[in-house]
Amino acid sequence: MCVQYLSTANVEWVKTHFDLDLPASPAHDVFPTYPGPIILKSHNTGCTAIGLARFGLLPSWAKEETFGRKTYNARVETVAEKPSYKNAWVKRHYALALADSFYEPCYESGKAMRTAIKQVNQEPMAIASIWDTWTEPETGELIVSFSMITIDASDHPVMKRMHKPEDEKRTVVPLRPELFNAWLNATPEEAQALMQLDSIPEIAIA
């Protein structure tokens, strides 16, 4: 589970990998309902775009924006079935959330210690996500929101150390750079196949 991450401010990295300009964000430390930069692709035009989106996916039928406080992570095992996520998944609304690090609690000291996870090479991460749009009922504003996909982490050398010993081990999926386009262009079947531990670059406790 990932409830907090640091969005990247590395303009050069984003330009190099996506040929896009990173937008300024009011929030570097991102929690559910906060904005963060994501990359997405239109399957109609073939264009890749970047913009700020709200962390915590809002399906079109959500009654209020606070719904996103409980939809910031989507399990890969059920993402195609859960009402909150299945529309985004089937419509291939695959995105990359751009982060410098993400946080998980580690209990190895006997109490929860907020622990930052980064790439070993210190580069930003592009975390596999899904996005959707929601219309604010009163203003008509169209809001883009996203959820990070999580997978089983019981065999990952770093992520299996997070959370309480008795808790299920989960991790979001930062993708290796060679998989960025594959994720954005994926079919649902291809997206499922990409959600594996070997898709994750080398990460470590910061």
Identify whether the C-beta of residue 36 lies closer than 8 Å to the C-beta of residue 15: no
Give φ, ψ of 107 to 5 degrees.
Answer: -110, 15
For the chain, the structural domain boundaries read: 5-102+120-151+172-205
H or E, element range at 113? strand 113-119
Give φ, ψ of 105 to 5 degrees.
Answer: -85, 135
Q: Give 82-91 contacts, CB < 8 A, sequence gap 24+.
A: 83/59, 84/57, 84/59, 84/147, 85/57, 85/59, 85/130, 85/147, 87/59, 87/60, 87/132, 88/57, 88/59, 88/130, 88/131, 88/132, 88/147, 89/130, 89/188, 89/191, 90/188
For residue range 23-77, list pLDDT tens digits in order: 999 889 999 999 999 999 998 899 999 999 999 999 999 999 899 999 999 999 9
For residue range 147-183, list pLDDT tens digits in order: 999 999 999 999 999 999 899 999 999 999 999 999 9
For residue range 71-92, list pLDDT tens digits in order: 999 999 999 999 999 999 999 9
Distances (CA, A) of 97 to 64, 92, 124: 23, 15, 10
The domain 5-102+120-151+172-205 is classified under which CATH number: 3.30.43.10, 3.90.1680.10, 3.40.309.10, 3.30.360.10?
A: 3.90.1680.10
Q: What is the pLDDT of residue 78?
A: 98
**Predicted structure pTM score:** 0.97
Q: What is the pLDDT of residue 14?
A: 98
